[in-house]
């Protein structure tokens, strides 16, 4: 039974690249930094979805601390982008005031 379960899980595990896993973990961690700044779950999702890998790394550095002025500036920059604004509109929320 266990062997069969292991064999069924093998294709699923093989489909996950280490880069994809690291990106997902980084983005989920970044959400914990962005959420207190923008205040809304949907707004947080929009900001994190539209951040590039380098920006995610910068956001993750503030885990466990209050977001500083450079982190807030980065969140403002990401929030001001057209794709992020489109995401806010699609979610039916106003752009957060940061």
pLDDT for the residue 89: 95
pLDDT for the residue 74: 96
Which residues touch 92 (CB under 8 Å, ≥6 apart)?
Answer: 42
pLDDT for the residue 94: 85
pLDDT for the residue 14: 53
Q: Report in angstroms the alpha-carbon separations of 89 from 17, 45, 65, 70, 98.
A: 32, 13, 30, 26, 17
Predicted model pTM: 0.78
Question: pLDDT under 70 in the chain at which residues?
Answer: 1-16
| Per-domain residue ranges of the chain | 20-91
- Is residue 19 exposed (0-12), middle (13-18) or buried (19+ Cβ within 10 Å)? exposed
């Amino acid at each position: 039974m266990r062997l069969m379960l292991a064999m069924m899980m093998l294709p699923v595990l093989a489909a996950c690249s280490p880069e994809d896993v690291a990106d997902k973990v980084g983005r989920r961690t970044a959400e914990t930094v962005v959420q207190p700044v923008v205040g809304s779950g949907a707004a947080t999702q929009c900001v994190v979805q539209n951040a590039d890998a380098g920006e995610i790394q910068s956001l993750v550095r503030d885990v466990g601390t209050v977001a500083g002025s450079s982190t807030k500036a980065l969140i403002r920059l990401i929030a001001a982008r057209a794709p992020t604004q489109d995401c806010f509109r699609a979610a039916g929320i106003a752009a957060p005031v940061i």
